[in-house]
Amino acid sequence: MVERRVNIGWAEGLHARPASIFVRAATAAGVPVTIAKADGGPVNAASMLAVLSLGAQGGEEVVLASDAEDAEQAATALDRLAKLVAEGLEELPETV
């Protein structure tokens, strides 16, 4: 399992628009990805309802993880998602 720990860069946390941006990126990642608050259980990162249910706030640490068979592909996908979350990007980068 590959994982990345990152603090949420969106001031409003993973709510509405930021969650939508994140879920679209996680869906496009090409590997199964989960997201969890540091003190909670993981949820499917490609599910808008699951991501919203986390109630993750800005600045809070989350754990992104993937158990894909191709560890290199999983690591690359998680690096991209971690950058998106940490920087609080308002648009999906071309590389996601």
Active site residue 1: no
| Cα distance between residue 13 and residue 60, in whole Å | 8
Q: How many CB atoms lie within 10 A of CB 62?
A: 26
Which one of the listed residues 3, 7, 9, 15 is annotated catalytic? 15
The Cα diameter of the chain in Å comes to: 34
Among all residues, which ones are annotated catalytic?
Answer: 15
